[in-house]
Amino acid sequence: MSRFDLNPPSPDQRAVLEAGLTADERRVLLQHGTEAPFCGVFLDNKREGTYCCRLCGLPLFRSSAKFDSGTGWPSFFAPFDPAHITLIRDTSHGMIRVEEVCARCGSHLGHVFPDGPPPTYERHCLNSVSLSFVDANASLPDPLQRGDADTGSA
């Protein structure tokens, strides 16, 4: 069970959070789009810290789980907490994939594939615009003011 409040934002909170998104963030997070490969701001990020949901701030992945998959999108082999990710069968584009969305706000993050490195053999392939980054030992974002924004080093 997550130590973070996974209840969705209220309609008023959601409206405020969505108002702060760029057009590209809205297209990916809210309309399940995809950013072009090899252009995301976090693709080559090597800093230590935590990747969080761009919309609601929920921690999603630690930098220690990031690896270079060669696909053009930031890739991770394990989530911060499996309860923070919701997996959805995606049959769009004539193929079967597993979409990942934020378990708290439902924002589109990317897809997970069974071809990653050990120990999980998972490749969580994410859009940079779906994420925010918090440096190690800095406080995690708490845009919903729920008091669960400790440091990302946990």
Euclidean distance between the first and final Cα of the chain, in Å?
Answer: 15
CA atoms lying within 13 Å on the CB side of residue 36: 2
Q: Which residue out of 52, 53, 56, 125 is catalytically annotated?
A: 125
Query: Could you confirm whether 125 is annotated as catalytic?
Result: yes
Lookup: tokens for 58: 């929920």
Q: Please state, in angstroms and rounded to a whole number, the distance separating the CA atoms of residues 154 and 136.
A: 10
Residue 9: is the preceding peptide bond cis (ω within 30°)?
Answer: no
- Strands 123-126 and 108-113: what pairing? antiparallel
Task: Give the active site residues.
Answer: 125
